[in-house]
Amino acid sequence: VQESPRPAPGPGRRARGALTRESIVATALRMMDTSGPEAVSIRSLAEELGVGAMTLYTYFRSKDELYDAVRDHALSLSPPPPADGPWEERVRAVMGGLHALLLDHPSLVRLLVARPLAGPEIARLTEAQLAALRDAGFDRATAASVHVTLVYHLLGSAIWETQRHSERSTATVAGSVVVEALPAGEYPTVVDLADALARTSGGPAQFAFGLDLVLAALRARLTRP
């Protein structure tokens, strides 16, 4: 036997006793950010941690439970939303913080869209947003509907950004609509606006544009209902 069967824990390899739910989740998130979400599986994560695949089932009941924990951990990295101040700024803080987080951790999008939105961090962010809307003066039903509308905006933009980055082909893409070889006779407006779509699509500016539209409509509702 020339090599020790169990290598000593070195950099990037964790001491055996140090394996915890937290360290597993942190490693999974780092792996997703580094190598993409598709590179993380129970088996590959276990290998990265230097343990057998089945070891992870000591800490999590299933892959879904592990991924839910990763999502919650990632969401906890978003800045704590302000509890007072003008309602509009508070909504912008929650939404902007989440959008920035999703740009930092694009792999998080998969975890958000694949499973029901639940967990303590989701509850914390929902609480902050609903409180801001109630303080603005909206009744319960309206506050709930506005909140869901804002969640749509966040989820939609997250998907959109992910799709754009997943497009690695050399085809000309205008706002994820491939316009290369698009017959101008059939789709004149798409072709005419290809540059505008390519320039405006995605990112914080596009996110703010849509958010501003919703907030403007809400301000109008409050002043003359």
Partner DNA sequence: ACCTGAACACCGTTCAAGT
Which parts of 22-51 interact with a second copy (CB under 8 A)? Answer: none
Strands (E), the chain: 173-174, 177-178
Q: 17 or 185: whose CB is closer to DNA?
A: 17
Closest CB 159 distance from DNA, rounded Å: 21
Is residue 53 at the binding interface for DNA, with CB under 7 A as the rule?
yes
Report how far residue 189's alpha carbon sits from residue 7's, in angstroms, rounded to the nearest whole number: 62
Nearer CB in complex with DNA: 50/210: 50
**Nearest residue (CB) to DNA, 14 versus 221:** 14
Give the nearest distance from C-beta 61 to DNA in angstroms.
8
CA pair distance 129, 95, nearest whole angstrom: 9
Q: Rank residues 67 and 160 by Cβ distance to a second copy and give the closer one.
A: 160
Q: Give the x/- contact pattern for a second copy in 191-210, rule: CB under 8 A.
A: -xx-xxx-xxxx---x--xx
| Number of shown-chain residues binding a second copy (CB under 8 A) | 65
Contact letters (x/-) for DNA, 170-199, by CB under 7 A?
Answer: ------------------------------
Q: Does 63 bind a second copy (CB under 8 A)?
A: no
Exposed (0-12), middle (13-18) or buried (19+): which is 117, by Cβ within 10 Å?
Answer: middle
Site string for a second copy, 74-113 (x = CB under 8 A): ---------------------------------------x
Q: What angle do CA 131, 80, 162 make, to 5 degrees?
A: 95
Dist. CA 217–CA 224, nearest whole Å: 11
Query: How many other CB atoms are found less than 10 A from the CB of residue 176?
Result: 16
CB 94 within 8 A of CB 128: yes
CA dist 136 and 130 (Å) reads 10
21 binds DNA (CB under 7 A): no
